[in-house]
Amino acid sequence: MVRRSGRGAAPDSVVRVVARMLPAPSVMVAAALIVKGYAEVGDGFAAGVIVALAVSLTYVAVGADGAEAVLPVLRHAPKIAVTGLLLALASGFFPLVYGEEPVSHQPAPGEPLTKFGKLELFTQLLMDIGVFLLVVGVLVMLLHQFGRLRGEEKS
Amino acid sequence: MLLSIALLLPWVAGAVLLIANGRNRAVAWLAVSTLVATLVVLAFLAAEVYGNGNVRVVTGHWPEGIGIVLEADPLGVTFALLSVLVVTAAAAYESVGGVRTRTFPGLVVILAAGLNGLFVTADIFSFYVFFELAMTASYALSAYGGKRRQLRAALVFTAVNLLGSFIFVLSVAGAYRVTGTLAMEQIAERMLEVNPNAVLLIATGFFIAFSVKLGLFPFHFWLPTVYAGARPSVAAILSGAVANIGAYGLLRFGAGLFPQQLEQAGLALIILGAVSILYGGVLAVSRGDVAEMLAYSAIGQVGYVLVALGVAGPVGLVAAVLYSVVNSLNKALLFLASGVRGALVAGAFAIGSLSVAGVPPAAGFVGKLELFRTGILADSTALIVLLVAGSALSLVYMFQVYQRCFWRADPAKAKASPLPQRLIAAGLAVLVLAGALWPEPLLALSGQAVESLTSSSPGAS
């Protein structure tokens, strides 16, 4: 049974359908994890891994070329990763501009927060979004490389 | 501020350069100029540190022990300057010859960011993070060239060093478990009250992790394949900059965090160092290939650092710092020189060879002199005999290869390399010469570095 789904054979239709449906909700879960904030479990890293897992299923189901045709944004994975890294670095080092220590965040601990629904607005959020983008970008780059290996084997 | 910029500059530039096409000449030279700018920032930072004392930053207004402490002290900035200098030279060397892969310039700059970070952090976990940043970049760099040889080198290098990193992070976890802190200062204080067996175990873990990086005798097995397989510029980076992590780590963790364990283990370190010197020396004599000879020579050379560390005391530590600095310059010079042909190169290689052997007009002499002083202070005939034997061996293997490479008329290799590449090798050679002709700054630097190291450790007398 396992052998049949090896080279050439298309994966099960259930897998393909699930793979198609999964990325959008995974982004919602990721957003929820980031919004949940710091008192509870969840941050940019976990959010990034969840999205990357959903995307990896797409790679398994339809292959690298297929996945990148369905979700063209995946082709920009290196740029996403670097943007994320730069965003995280910026949130860490920006305080230097107004003479504070690196990784100081606004508002500081204990100060009142602006809330937008459940979302707490503070500069730490930028760091988390940066980490999220970085993790997604790097994992998708890896998936792309592995997917391409499989493609080369076929030809 | 300077400290933060020294970290920020290569980190941001490296990230941006990673997505640029490194085969483009402009990108390669942009990487080199970033490295030069980092070097300038580090020089200012070093001037500040040597003039007005340590520069300290605690991140995010947190109390110490919660926020990460970054502290540039003389030992750290010396190693940072040295490593970035070597990386810059190697990157410029490769840019002249034409970079072959997209990612090389970005990786080199990221490597510099990681090295800077780990040399200025005073927190063992962020040390690990920067260490991994630097190592990950060097794993990718070791495959540079993309041929079978390089890929084999990269596989061996990555596998062995990941194991080393794993042992390191286990020791970090152990240190946190017994002391409840990650800040180096507090660890050093609290280690005094911890069960000595646990401390010894943790200290041994750190020792093994750094020895793997450095390629000391029982952990050296990966080194010849990697140094001989990698391209000359990458070998120069690995042996001249990345190996500094090992030397710095042994000094910082050994003399800074575990001074008592260092004293207890003194004899064992001297024996391991002695075996390293003899093993590296004897095997280097038997090798014909330049890169392979240099790899075994590297194993022998780090033995001297370990011997000096084993003798310990202020004199031993100064010798260890001095010798690591000189050795890293030597190795960078020799690996770069081994990759080029033409006028100036033979001279540069000869100076490097003299320096490895410890013969007067080169900086290696100053290093060997300090080592002999250590030996005399330790009142050990065996040590002095060992040093003489090691030096004699290195003289033999260096000039054996020198003769074979540069004295034999070989029409196949007669084509001269681009002049700038030769000038870089020659520049490093001039630096090695300058270190011997005017050794006072080097000595003062090492002295101050050791002072900063021992004054922070509570067990020091």
Is the pLDDT assigned to residue B82 strictly greater than 90?
A: yes
Cβ neighbours of B1 in A, within 8 Å: 96
Phi-psi region of A132 (alpha: psi -120 to 50; beta: other; left: phi over 0): alpha
What sign does the dihedral B352-B353-B355-B356 (CA atoms) show? Answer: positive
- Give me the phi and psi of B38, to 5 degrees please: -60, -40
ipTM of the complex: 0.82
Is the pLDDT assigned to residue B456 strictly greater than 80?
A: no
Quote the mean pLDDT of chain B: 88
The answer to whether residue B59 is domain-embedded is yes
At B461, the pLDDT band (50, 70, 90 cuts) reads very low
Question: Looking at the complex, does the CB of residue B16 fall below 8 Å from at least one CB of chain A?
Answer: yes
At B97, the pLDDT band (50, 70, 90 cuts) reads confident
Contact A82 B60 (CB under 8 A): no
Question: Looking at the complex, does the CB of residue B57 fall below 8 Å from at least one CB of chain A?
Answer: yes
CA–CA dist A57, B101 (Å, integer)? 31
Query: How many helices and strands in chain B, by DSSP H and E?
Result: 20, 2
Residue of A nearest to B67 (CA): A103
What is the mean pLDDT of the segment spanning A136-150?
85
Is the pLDDT assigned to residue B256 strictly greater than 50?
A: yes
CA–CA dist B235, B231 (Å, integer)? 6
Quote the mean pLDDT of chain A: 82
What is the mean pLDDT of the segment spanning B370-398?
87
Number of domains in chain B: 1
CA–CA dist A76, B409 (Å, integer)? 53
Please tell me the predicted confidence (pLDDT) of residue B460. 40
What is the mean pLDDT of the segment spanning B106-117?
94
Whether residue B287 contacts residue B225, with contact meaning beta carbons closer than 8 Å, is answered with no
Among A34-43, B87-96, B286-295, the least confident range: A34-43
Length of chain B: 461
Please tell me the predicted confidence (pLDDT) of residue A8. 54
Type of residue numbered A96 = L
B316-352 confidence digits (pLDDT tens): 888 899 999 999 999 999 999 888 887 788 888 888 8
The answer to whether residue B96 is domain-embedded is yes
User: pTM score, two decimals?
Assistant: 0.90
Cβ neighbours of B16 in A, within 8 Å: 82, 86
Cβ neighbours of A100 in B, within 8 Å: 61
Is the pLDDT assigned to residue B411 strictly greater than 70?
A: no
Residue of B nearest to A94 (CA): B8
Residue of B nearest to A76 (CA): B19
B36-71 confidence digits (pLDDT tens): 999 999 999 999 998 888 888 888 777 777 788 888
Please tell me the predicted confidence (pLDDT) of residue A155. 40
At B161, the pLDDT band (50, 70, 90 cuts) reads very high
**Complete DSSP assignment for B376-427:** HHTT-HHHHHHHHHHHHHHHHHHHHHHIIIIIS--GGG-SPPPHHHHHHHHH
What is the mean pLDDT of the segment spanning B404-416?
67
A-interface mutation test, from B11, B110, B126, B133, most A Cβ less than 10 A away: B11
Please tell me the predicted confidence (pLDDT) of residue B89. 93
Q: What tokens appear for A115 in the block?
A: 């809330």
Contact A82 B16 (CB under 8 A): yes
Please tell me the predicted confidence (pLDDT) of residue B43. 93
**Percentage of chain A exceeding pLDDT 90:** 28
Range of the domain at B140: 2-456
Question: Looking at the complex, does the CB of residue B382 fall below 8 Å from at least one CB of chain A?
Answer: no
The answer to whether residue B461 is domain-embedded is no
Contact B19 A79 (CB under 8 A): yes
Comparing A41 with B6, which gets the higher pLDDT? B6
**Percentage of chain B exceeding pLDDT 70:** 97
At B203, the pLDDT band (50, 70, 90 cuts) reads very high
Question: Looking at the complex, does the CB of residue A86 fall below 8 Å from at least one CB of chain B?
Answer: yes
What is the mean pLDDT of the segment spanning B184-211?
90
At A1, the pLDDT band (50, 70, 90 cuts) reads very low
